[in-house]
Amino acid sequence: QVQLVESGGGLVQAGGSLRLSCVASSRTFSRDRMGWFRRAPGKEREAVAAISWSGGNTWYVDSVKGRFTISRDNAKNTVYLQMNSLKPEDTAVYYCASEGGVSGKFNYWGRGTQVTVSS
């Protein structure tokens, strides 16, 4: 069983920054691909960023490229999402996700943290 706990959300003005953290209680964390997703009001869940087990490979949705950075610290079982130059359209609940030892899809999800960007 994998538990994921996100933190770091909040209210920020457009142009500001936030850093999200996700701590995983998982024995396989250092071998798992991790991701961040978001769901804006009235919209479907959207993949935002992903990172390989080593951190050597990352992926971003086009709308956040150059503004968001995903990283991980395997010694701390933690994945981060640094969000800069935030825009009102980034407002959403952000979720951390883990493969949890079964590669190919994200099998475990956190409860989410709210990010609100005011204009």
In sequence order, which residues have a C-beta less than 8 Å from that of residue 60 and are 6 or more positions away? 48, 49, 68, 70
Closest listed residue to residue 71, CA positions, set 112, 117, 20, 3: 20
pLDDT value of residue 60: 98
Q: Is 62 exposed, middle or buried (0-12, 13-18, 19+ CB in 10 A)?
A: exposed
- The percent of residues in the chain predicted with pLDDT above 90, rounded, is 92
- pLDDT for 32-91, tens place per residue? 999 999 999 999 999 999 999 999 999 999 999 999 999 999 999 999 999 999 999 999
Examine the pLDDT at 115 and tell me if it is beyond 90: yes
3-state secondary structure 55-72: CCCEEECHHHCCCEEEEE
- pLDDT for 80-103, tens place per residue? 999 999 999 999 999 999 998 888
Amino acid symbol at 95: Y
- pLDDT for 98-112, tens place per residue? 998 888 899 999 999
